[in-house]
Amino acid sequence: MDYLKFRELPAGQNAIVGIMCYGGYNQEDSVIMNQSSIDRGLFRSLYFRTYMDEEGKKVMGDTSTFEKPTRDTTLRLKHGTYEKLESDGLIAPGTRVTGDDIIIGKTTPIPADSLELGQRTTQHTKIDASKALRSTEYGIVDQVLLTTNSEGAKFVKVRIRSTRIPQMGDKFASRHGQKGTIGITYRTEDMPFSAEGVVPDIIINPHAIPSRMTIGHLVECLLSKLSTLMACEGDATPFTDVTVEAISSELMRHGYQQRGFEVMYNGHTGRKLAAQVFLGPTYYQRLKHMVDDKIHSRARGPLQILTRQPVEGRARDGGLRFGEMERDVMIAHGVAQFLKERLFDVSDA
């Protein structure tokens, strides 16, 4: 912990974790998370992305400069708004930005022999070379660094900060490779609660345990429970003589079930659950795979020139591939018209 500087910049938090089936929204490695805990700040994180650009790059034979492009003198302006730029072409820290906003203004002189497809007038002396925020992103300008590179040309970095609140589809993992995404979030009143009134932050599925044999996950939960009661840190390294039996007997001394099970009540009905539930604190990490960075859909969009099929990838607003296996499923269903629609009408016909 100390060597990795995990106290100063941790990757997660100690969450109260219950291992149980509860409504079916934690099947297949998904987890149920407590929405009230999320509202109080559980796993809330900051996401930073840095955009870089420099002056003096030879674009079409001429050097580029940072400035705020104007419609009167500049051709090929982008779709996003240029209003947030200052006169030097940079954006002020603290400015709120959303997708396609221009964050670094830059222009390149038009070569004298260029015709620019008839758009050019005598006033148009520059071409836009600005940098826009990614279309799917949003946030606040955190820092702007203006300096010079090794060749003495102006060089700028803009760091964008956004607050990411856990939502359905975000990925989490314990320290034992037990990874899962949020399947649903329930408020505290809908979550199960123990006889003491403890409500779990996370509910994982018991089917994730036996075949994977991640015993460390269970031992951590047990030791964390005891450490909480004793108000001390538990040492989980293999170099101590701490055994599961020792932890169990100490838990019993504190008035708990020796293996960490607790009587729990259904949050929807208030009735006692038939089985006791393994409950305790476990360290869970928030992973970088967030649904905001991956969500993608398309009805219509750009096509490849060569094949006239939709382009590929989320960044280019691409299509979703209807692959060999999907085709096999449709053949098995016998839906000939649907197959024709997917493979011809909505692709390259």
What is the pTM for the complete model shown? 0.88
Residues in the chain: 349
- pLDDT tier for residue 56 given thresholds of 50, 70 and 90: confident
Q: Residue written as tokens 């599925």?
A: 205
Strand partners, 45: 164
Fold of the domain spanning 296-345: DCoH-like (3.90.1800)
**pLDDT 10s digits, 79-133:** 999 999 999 999 999 999 999 999 999 999 987 766 665 566 677 888 999 999 9
CA 66 to chain centre: 32
Cβ atoms of 303 and 325 closer than 8 Å: no
User: Nearest 5°: phi and psi at 31?
Assistant: -125, 155
Distance of CA 346 to the CA centre of its chain: 31
Instruction: For residue range 301-322, list pLDDT tens digits in order.
Output: 999 999 999 999 999 999 999 9
Instruction: Please report the pLDDT score of residue 52 as a whole number.
Output: 96
The rounded percent of the chain whose pLDDT value lies above 90 is 84
Q: Helix 215-230 to helix 244-253 angle, to the nearest 10 degrees?
A: 40
Q: Is the CATH number of domain 12-43+171-286 3.40.50.12240?
A: no
Contacts of 103 (CB under 8 A, 6+ apart): 51, 84, 85, 91, 97, 131, 132, 133, 141, 158, 160
Say if residue 260's pLDDT is above 70.
yes
Eight-class DSSP state of 208: G
Select which of 2, 29, 53, 190 is catalytic: 29
* DSSP string across 5-26: TTTTS-SEEEEEEEES--TTTT
Alpha-carbon span 173 to 236, nearest angstrom = 18
- pLDDT for the residue numbered 271: 98
Q: What is the pLDDT of residues 180-205, one digit of tens each?
A: 999 999 999 999 999 999 999 999 99
Hey, how many other C-beta atoms are within 10 angstroms of the C-beta on 51? 17
The type of residue at 325 is: M
Per-residue pLDDT tens digits for 271-286: 999 999 999 999 999 9
Same fold, 12-43+171-286 and 47-164: no
Domain edges within the chain: 12-43+171-286, 47-164, 296-345
- Average pLDDT of the segment spanning 153-178: 97
Residue 48 has pLDDT above 60, yes or no: yes
Residues facing 24 on adjacent strands? none
The fraction of the chain above a pLDDT of 70, given in percent, is 95
29 catalytic? Reply is yes
Under CATH, domain 47-164 is a member of which superfamily?
RNA polymerase II, Rpb2 subunit, wall domain (2.40.50.150)
**Cβ distance 314 to 294 under 8 Å?**
yes
pLDDT at 120: 62
Tell me the mean pLDDT in the region 294-302: 95
Residue 110 has a pLDDT of: 84
What confidence score (pLDDT) does residue 151 get? Answer: 86
* SS3 label, residue 35: helix
